Amino acid sequence: MTIAPALIDTIDAAIDARREEIVAFAAELIRQPSVNPDLGPSPGAEGPAQRWLADQLTGWGTFDRVDTWTEDGAGLRPNVVATRPGSGGGRSLVWAAHTDVVPVSAEQAAAWSGAGPFSGEVLDGKLWGRGASDMKGAIAAQVMAARVLDDAGVRLRGDLTLVQTCGEESGRRDLGCNAVLRRGYRADLAIFPEPTNFAVYPAIKGEVYFRLVVPGKSTHIANRHLVAQALPHGVERPGVSAVDNMLKYHLATLDLERDWLLWRSHPHVPPGGMFVNLNTIHAGPPPAPIPDTAVPDRCEATGSALFYPDVPATEAIAEIRAAYERVTAGDAWLRAHPPTLDIPFGHPLKEPVNLLFDHPGVEAISTAMVSLGEADPARGVAPFVCDANYWSAEGQPSIVFGPGDPSWGIHGTDEHLPVADLLRAVKVFAAVTMEWCGVEDRGTDQPGTRAESNV
């Protein structure tokens, strides 16, 4: 079905009337501190941005209720949920975003163009600053979409809920997204406006982190030849290099990755989309001004694996574990001194999301965009993971769809969002909301009427 042209014109007029306000709102939200404290120094955590946001949403009168609470004990990391009940008979919708952002490193700050990484500067038709694409621009779009619907007098049939959580960038589902579910906020569909550049992702890869600790036996560096070479019968080896042992497991990791490359594929993911990355490796004692010269007796690696949406997490974990167990079984010393593998480790397991590409939510987004004269959006598998992985595992149907692009400085230098895309997102989000929730029939002489049916 197509949204009535008269209603689209009304929404356009409401956006035009608030154009400067929409941009100013997004810029001010970028200026409000919300660096995730799990990732870097952040005295107020997400609190300043969340409290400012809650004040704005409360003051507008657009929402029946604005709910703010914390789960962290110290009250520093709020979640903010705004609700607007429908008139009845429609489908409910949640727009679910996160307000926390990653830190800006000293190197990134030094290389940042313009007024700085938290300036919210508008320059050359773009909004600049940490969070512009990931994802304060999307928050501005989702809340302003609700506001322009209110301006236009649109009465939704289904309930509308806007969620802004803490902790997403560090996987703190306990404080953020899953706390929202525990508080009772669910819907027929949740849309996560992560930076997809308006592509629709009904499927998301799974992700698991792990830690591998490989033992060795320490000895003086002068004994290296007695560690790495053959010894006469009866001579006890004085040491075993944990680094040498770790190399065997790293090679096994590369072999597993190649096995996946050759024998695993997905119809909607480019080749090579299932892989393992070793993120950190450290051997021996902690770094010191003068490095230790002993053969290391311990080597620790942390890694992460991304796997296709149709691969159960248990299967990916089992294959990683089996690859490392083969190394242990094939080495006489390691059989007697096996490594430890913690999997999952560090972050909660992110199960894959595997909604159908013709799910009603996907079709609603497509219909809404076509109604606006836009091209039918591309449908694919998200190249990143997010809170949608956690919600999907809890039975909440979830789709990823939003403005911004991973190539626009996200988690790096010069993060930005074109102002045109911000305004486009407001219009698209309003249309998607109407298409999914349905709109009350206001009579044939008023904008938004659809004589044949409701949106």
Active site residues: 100, 169
* Upper half-sphere CA count for residue 383 (Cβ side, 13 Å): 12
- The total of other beta-carbon atoms located within 10 Å of residue 107's CB is 10
Contact 118, 132 (CB under 8 A): no
Tokens 């703010």, located at residue: 68
Residue 221: exposed, middle, or buried by beta-carbon count in 10 A (0-12, 13-18, 19+)? exposed
Strands (E), 175-237: 189-192, 200-204, 206-215, 219-220
Token digits of residue 176 = 């953020």
Contact 153, 438 (CB under 8 A): no
- The total of other beta-carbon atoms located within 10 Å of residue 417's CB is 31
Residue 382 CA to residue 174 CA, distance in Å, equals 23
Amino acid identity at 416: H
* Upper half-sphere CA count for residue 36 (Cβ side, 13 Å): 22
Q: Is the link from the previous residue into 344 a cis peptide, with omega within 30 of 0?
A: yes
Contact 341, 321 (CB under 8 A): yes
Q: Residue 85: helix, strand or coil by DSSP?
A: coil
Identify the helix (H) or strand (E) that includes residue 437: helix 419-437
Contact 165, 177 (CB under 8 A): yes
